[in-house]
């Protein structure tokens, strides 16, 4: 219930107008290290120093204006040059509706090609993030059309909550595409998506095993320790070495686990978003773990004039 409400709020302009004027802006810092390319590069350098690869995302989505969609790609080109210039171990993640999917598939492809070309020259991978089910089919079509044009430095994301995902994974394996698998962050209807966490997790494991055994360098994006342990075991038992896949996690979530996996010799990549449009991203992170809402409310109250009422502050 709370999850649904928070995801719906992530799409509400009124809620956005209210929330972005509150201290939530400061709180978004846990998940979003800053607003500029420089902020991203700093966070990326810090992650690299800890042995973590990164993927950079310039926050934005649901863009209808061609000029803004083009500006987003210009920013991605600046990120790419920053990654190359500073020797960052990293790649890029792009939301299709930020760079023009709502305007049209052809617009999006034209818009994206300069980024794909420059990234290909320097062997940098571009990930097409997956958004709500309204965009799944079109996003996969765009991906396949670019693949047919010969781009091999691009790959899609599949979401284990969608019922179609096992079939999509088979198709991606046939093509030889690099897939990121996540659970899915939007609210979807029962005819399209599993509603129970148990089913989403079961499907995650099934699809992940298929990608590990028949796919190309899959990215297993999850913070779910039970799933991670089970996939480590599956890989070991099937002779799939740690060089054959990577784990991915979000900036600011389970840093302990990110470090532990790195120490164990696994490839770990951290998704680092940056930019002004942090509101829907933050709301989806709160929705994933309602305990975060309490954590955030707690830090607002603690730092407010009512802070003396907060249990931890009373001792002061």
Active centre residues (catalytic): 129, 180
Report the site for ligand FAD in 160-179 (rule: CB under 6 A). none
Residues near 306 by Cβ (< 8 Å), separated by ≥ 6?
Answer: none
Q: Are 130 and 94 in contact (CB under 8 A)?
A: no
- 261 belongs to the binding site for ligand FAD (CB under 6 A): no
Question: Smallest Cα–Cα separation from 59: which of 6, 20, 110, 4?
Answer: 20
Does 156 help bind ligand FAD (rule: CB under 6 A)? no
3-state helix, strand, coil in the chain (%, to 5): 55, 15, 35
Least distance from C-beta 288 to ligand FAD, angstroms?
Answer: 4
Is residue 61 a contact residue for ligand FAD (CB under 6 A)?
no
Site for ligand FAD in 71-130 (CB under 6 A): 129-130
Kindly tell me which residue out of 71, 288, 300, 310 binds ligand FAD, with binding defined by CB under 6 A.
288
Structure tokens at 298: 């707690």
Query: Interaction with ligand FAD in 12-41: which residues (CB under 6 A)?
Result: none
Ranges within 208-227 binding ligand FAD (CB under 6 A) = 221-224
- # chain residues binding ligand FAD, by CB under 6 A: 23
The interface mask with ligand FAD, positions 184-203, x = CB under 6 A, is xxx-----------------
Residue in this structure with the two tokens 């998940």, named with its chain if needed: 31
The DSSP bridge pattern shows strands 53-58 and 219-221 to be unpaired
Q: What distance in Å separates the CA atoms of residue 137 and residue 146, rounded to the nearest whole number?
A: 14
CB of 127 to ligand FAD, least distance (A): 8
Which bin fits 9, alpha (ψ -120 to 50), beta or left (φ > 0)?
alpha
Q: Does 253 bind ligand FAD (CB under 6 A)?
A: yes
- 73 or 268: whose CB is closer to ligand FAD? 268
End-to-end CA distance of the chain: 37
**What is the binding site for ligand FAD (CB under 6 A)?**
129-130, 157, 159, 182-186, 221-224, 248-250, 253-254, 271, 285, 288-289, 292
């Amino acid at each position: 219930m709370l999850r649904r409400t928070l995801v719906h709020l992530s799409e509400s302009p009124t809620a956005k107008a209210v929330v972005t004027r509150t201290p939530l802006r400061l709180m978004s810092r846990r998940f979003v290290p800053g607003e500029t390319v420089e902020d991203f590069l700093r966070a990326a350098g810090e992650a690299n120093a800890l042995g973590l690869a990164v993927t950079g995302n310039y926050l934005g989505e649901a863009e209808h204006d061609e000029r803004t969609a083009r500006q987003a790609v210009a920013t991605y080109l600046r990120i790419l040059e920053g990654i190359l210039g500073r020797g960052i171990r990293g790649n890029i993640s792009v939301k299709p509706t930020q760079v023009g999917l709502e305007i049209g598939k052809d617009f999006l492809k034209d818009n994206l090609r300069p980024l794909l070309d420059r990234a290909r020259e320097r062997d940098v991978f571009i990930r097409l993030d997956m958004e709500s089910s309204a965009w799944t089919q079109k996003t996969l079509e765009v991906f396949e059309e670019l693949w047919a044009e010969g781009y091999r430095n691009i790959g899609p994301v599949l979401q284990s909550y969608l019922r179609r995902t096992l079939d999509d994974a088979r198709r991606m394996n046939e093509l030889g595409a690099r897939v990121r698998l996540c659970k899915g962050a939007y609210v979807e209807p029962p005819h399209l998506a599993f509603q129970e966490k148990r089913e989403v997790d079961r499907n995650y494991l099934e699809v992940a095993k298929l990608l590990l055994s028949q796919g190309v360098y899959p990215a297993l994006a999850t913070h779910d320790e039970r799933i991670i342990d089970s996939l480590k075991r599956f890989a070991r038992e099937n002779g799939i070495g740690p060089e054959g896949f990577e784990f991915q996690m979000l900036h600011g979530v389970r840093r302990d686990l990110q470090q532990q996996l790195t120490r164990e010799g696994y490839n770990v990549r951290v998704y680092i978003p940056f930019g002004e449009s942090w509101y829907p991203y933050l709301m989806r992170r709160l929705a994933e773990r309602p305990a975060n809402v309490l954590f955030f409310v707690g830090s607002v109250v603690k730092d407010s004039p009512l802070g003396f009422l907060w249990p931890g502050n009373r001792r002061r």
